[in-house]
Each structure stands twice: as C-alpha cells, then as structure tokens.
Structure 1
Amino acid sequence: MVPTVRAAGPSDAAGVVALLRAARPHLVVTPQVLAWQATGKPAERFGMLVAEAGGGIAGVARTGLLHESAEPGLGFVNLVVHREGWRRGVGSALLAAAEERLVGLGVRLAYARVVDEPASLAFAERRGYRGGRRNVILGLDLATAVLPPAPAPPAGVRLVTAADLPDPRPLYEADLAAAVDEPGDVGMDEISFGDWRAAYWDRPDLDRALSMVASADGVVVAFTVALTDGRDRYLSGMTGTRAGWRGRGLARLVKHASLRAARSAGLRWAYTLNDAGNDAMRAVNAWCGYRPVAAEWRHLRTLHE
C-alpha cells in the first residue's frame, strides 16, 4: 500500500466523517463542521490532509495553530488512520506532510492527541513525540441513564440557556476566567472576543439551547457548552466555574440541566473529555453517571527552534 497524501477538499467530507466517527465515537463531527473549520476560524489556520490508498481515504491529519495561547509557535496535528492502513506507511506519510505544513506556519512545538493503546503510543514515541497529560473520555447512554435529582440553584443564581443570552460577551469573559487554572498542556490566555466568537459561539455544532449558563447579578459564574451532530451525539465542549464561585455545586447544576435537555431533545450518546488530573470535574461527571470509555494522551514534539 503506497499512500497518496494531499490536501482535503469538499468532496472528501463524507469519507472523512465516516472515518472519524468509526475511529473516535466520542467526536461530534459532520461535513458542516469540517467546512466551518476550514473557513470559519481564520486565526487557527486549520488545514486537513488525507491519505488515499486502495481506492479510498485511509487516513486524515487535522492541523492548525493553537492560537488561544499567548505563547507563539504552538500548533497541533491529530492523526486518524483506518486500521487497514496501520503499519503500511499511511500514518508516517500523513505525519510527515502535516509537520511540513506546521513548519510552514511557523510552528515550533507540535501537540498531538494519541489514543491510549500500545500501537498508537509506540508510533508517536518512535517519531519523537513525548507524552504529556492524559485525558479520560467518558460516555453516558441517555436512553438508559438514571440521572440524579436536579440540584437547586444557590440563592441569587439564575439558570438559563445560552440561547437566552442577549449578548455572548459575559460568557466569553467567564470562559477566560474559568480557563486560567484549568488543567492542561496549553492554556487559553490570549484570545480576543472576535476570535472567541468565531471559534466557539458561531460554530455550527454549538447547540445554544442545550448549553447552560448560571448567572448572578448579570455575571456568568458557571456554564457548560453543548456540541451536537444533529443526530444522536452530544459532547460537553467545556464546563467552567469562576474561581470565587466554586464549591457551590454550580458545575453539577449546569451539567445536569444540559444532559436532561439533551435527552428531551432525543440525543442518545453523551460524551465528555476529562483531564485525568482534574479530580473535581471527574467527581462531577461520575455524579452525572458518566463512565470511562476510552483515553488519550497529549504528546508534543519540537519541530524547530
């Protein structure tokens, strides 16, 4: 199998979505999301490469800049290769082309999400990627799950949906405030309101009616963002609470309300990613009924100084 690597085009969307959904069931991905990633997030400089072999798409590499960090020169490369393409040069060809693109964008340090299984980890390590933080992927079957009783909002806290917000700027401010000490390899410490709006608020898979916001005196103090594929999958994109409001059950409040609304909307599979070191959020997710279904590691490699 000799793969041909090229830039992805609109006609590749259906094949890429099928590959991603099969390999990563927790991903919320549609052709519309792929098209938006290519055009709707200019600061990210998103680019997608596909490897063709055997008459079809054997693998895909998604690349771009980690533009939310104040540190320059950070980028990402995430590979997914069809099982039939393993050990046949597909991943190596894709990674080489992806790294070449990142170098052209001025990337100094490349981050990659690597599935927590021996073959994928060994592939990354052989190519100079070193392990970083671990994410646990949690799943919940909304059709059979018994959600705990809904918690009551604390005094002075109002629970609304993101669709109820007349202006998303308070949510942007809360997102930045909550991300200051969020566990992770790369922090969100430099993103303008315009870039945030393009990257998050205007994304086609954001379901504002399922995204919940807790506010007090007009200030967003906690929130959870819901992404859906319009079919059966729901992904918790981010849950955050301002530092001064933690310990009051607000994460449970917003996540429970969002999951209940998702079930009412007919969604079946709920997923969330949890940093393995974030014990507080892991406790919240366990309370909601989430259980581990997979895991991945963030790996990184210096491309050039």
Structure 2
Amino acid sequence: MTVLVRALRPGSRPDAEAFAAVRRACVPAMLATADSIQFDLAHAHPDSRYRQLVAEADGEIIGTAQVGIAYDSPDPGQGFANVYVLPQRRGLGAGSLILRTAEEYLAAEGATTVFSWVLDEPANRAFATARGYRASRSAHFLRLDLAGGTLPPRQELPAGVELRTGAEFGDDPRALFDLDAETVADEPSDVATEFTDYEHWLAETWNHPLVNRELTSVAVMDGRPAAFTLARTDDASRYGSGMTGTGRAFRGRGLAKLAKNDSLHRARAVGCTEAFTGNDAGNEPMLAINKWFGYEICATEVRHVRDLG
C-alpha cells in the first residue's frame, strides 16, 4: 500500500470533508466541519504560513496535519504541527511521513522549534518520543451531557451586571476583541500569544463558521464587557466553548460562571445535546468552574516540543 502526503486542495469539498472526518474520529471533542476546514485555510494570517496536509493511502485520506508558524507570539521561530491518523489506519507509516513533511516545511519557513499536541495514550507518546519530541504541559478535553445532565440553575445577576448575547454586538465587537486579547494573554501556555490585529480577529475568529453569536454570552458591567464565553456549534447538536474568560479588572466575582451558565442553558434550549471544552491541566480555576457545571474529563493531550536543526 502506497502512502503519500500532499497539501489539502483549496476549494475541494471532498478533501475538506475527509479532513474533518479524520479530526472528528481522532479527537471527538474538537468541532470540525468541511466549512470550518476550508475557512481556516482561506482566512489564515499570511504570516502564519498555515498549511493543511493530508496523508493518502490508495486515494483515501487517512491522516491530517495542521502546520504553521505562531506569528502572534512575541517569541520568533516557533512552529506547530498537529498530526492525526485514523486509529484503524495506523502502522502504515502515514504519521511518520506527514510529520517529516511538516517539519521540513516549517524549517524552510524559519521555524527553529516545533510544538505538537499528542493524545495522552502510550502509543502516541511513544511515537513522539521516538522522533525526538519531549513532553511539556498537558491539557484536558471535557464533556458535558446537555441532554441528560442537570445544569446549575440560573443565578440572580449581581447589581450592575447584565447578560448580553454576542449577536447584540453586531458588526462592531471591538470591545469583545479587547476582552479576548486580555484573557488570551493570561492563558497558561508554552507559546505566549498577543492579539494585536483587530481586522484579522474579525475575519478569523468573529466570522468563523463555527462561532454561534446567538449562543455567545457576555457579562457586561457598567456598560463594559467584563466576562464572556464564545460559543461554537457544528450544526449537529454539538456545542463547544471557544474561549471563556474575565477581564483582569473584574476577576474574582464569578462573572465567567454567569456567562457560561447562560450560554449552556440557551444551547440546551435550542437542541444541543453535548458540550465540550478544553482546559490547561494547570488551570485549576477553570477546571473547578467546569466541574461545577458537570463537565467530566474525556481525553487529555500532552504538548510536545522538538528543536529543529
């Protein structure tokens, strides 16, 4: 059986559908659709040098990789390559070939370090170790049964706080960009991130096909967005938290809980049956909040890193 690696064809619906199917099979907690795969490629920042690679075996796409440069990090030379191969098609050399192709591409683009998320399973970790990657921080995927579980009751809003949907911010969500940038900057990570490009945030995040503005909830205090949860849905009854955070000046008041609880209640009301989120394993405040909602850990990834050259 011959395995080859190539770039995903821009505009190819079959390619995008197969890419999304591999992602869903390997990491069910990560929402992916053909539309979102095509959107990610079309709207990637030029400086990210973003590529989507696929591994084919006799014409069937059995593996994928998201590859690029962390252009929004203040530290230069950091690349990423997240590789997934269908469980039933492992052992054919697809993972090795697609990773090598990704590393060669990143090196040519000036990367000196490659970060890769690896599912916390013995075979996957052994694969990464054998190829020179060392384990770093870990992160959990969590799942909440919206159909059969019980959400915490809605809480009375504190004085001066109101809840709004993302849709109410319409086409001028600059205040949400500022809030997102502040919370992302404080998020635990191996790769520091700085949001400075509002126009690109609009194109890549706010207008993303998975983002559901109606289910996005924003806690507003004194007329200013103080906390939010960005909702994502795949139009197939699955809900994901894109980001939940609180501005530095408003932390410690339970506002993120208010926003997320509001969003989850409304998601269940419109037919979402399961919700997913992700947390750095060391982010104990958010893990505690999600445990309060009833989320349970369903998978763990460990970030690995390798120095090129």
TM range, smaller chain: over 0.9
Long gaps (5+) in structure 1: none
CA distance in 2, matches of 1:219, 1:93: 49
Task: Describe how 1:207-246 pairs up with structure 2 within 5 A.
Answer: 207-246=212-251
Secondary structure at 2:74 match in 1: coil
The change in CA–CA distance for 1:16 and 1:180 in structure 2 (over 3 A counts) is closer
Pairing partner for 1:283 from 288, 292, 295? 288
Shift of 1:301: 1.3
Task: Describe how 1:262-277 pairs up with structure 2 within 5 A.
Answer: 262-277=267-282
Question: What amino acid maps onto 2:242 in structure 1?
Answer: G
The TM-score with structure 2 as length reference comes to 0.94
The Cα offsets for residues 75-98 of structure 1, whole Å up to 9 and x where unpaired, read as 211111112332321100000111
Hey, what does 1:42 align to over in structure 2?
45
Secondary structure at 1:139 match in 2: strand
Task: Pick which of 37-46 and 156-165 moved more.
Answer: 37-46
Hey, what does 2:3 align to over in structure 1?
3
Hey, what does 2:151 align to over in structure 1?
147
Confirm whether residue 256 of structure 1 aligns to residue 256 of structure 2: no
CA distance in 1, matches of 2:203, 2:79: 18
Count of aligned pairs between the two proteins: 304
Pairing partner for 1:302 from 298, 303, 307? 307
Question: What amino acid maps onto 1:46 in structure 2?
Answer: Y
CA distance in 1, matches of 2:265, 2:49: 36
The Cα offsets for residues 179-215 of structure 1, whole Å up to 9 and x where unpaired, read as 2322111222243112222221111111001111111
Query: What percent identity do the matched residue pairs reach?
Result: 43
Secondary structure at 1:153 match in 2: coil
Confirm whether residue 17 of structure 1 aligns to residue 20 of structure 2: yes
Confirm whether residue 73 of structure 1 aligns to residue 77 of structure 2: yes
Q: In 1, are the aligned partners of 2:118 and 2:303 still within 8 Å (CA)?
A: yes
Confirm whether residue 32 of structure 1 aligns to residue 35 of structure 2: yes
The TM-score with structure 1 as length reference comes to 0.96
Shift of 1:57: 1.1
Secondary structure at 1:71 match in 2: coil
Shift of 1:102: 1.3
> Over aligned residue pairs, what C-alpha RMSD do you find?
1.4
Hey, what does 2:63 align to over in structure 1?
59
Confirm whether residue 174 of structure 1 aligns to residue 173 of structure 2: no
CA distance in 2, matches of 1:255, 1:49: 34
Hey, what does 1:185 align to over in structure 2?
190
Question: What amino acid maps onto 1:194 in structure 2?
Answer: E
Confirm whether residue 104 of structure 1 aligns to residue 101 of structure 2: no
CA distance in 2, matches of 1:219, 1:236: 21
Long gaps (5+) in structure 2: none
Shift of 1:42: 2.4
Q: In 1, are the aligned partners of 2:75 and 2:192 still within 8 Å (CA)?
A: no
Question: What amino acid maps onto 1:98 in structure 2?
Answer: A
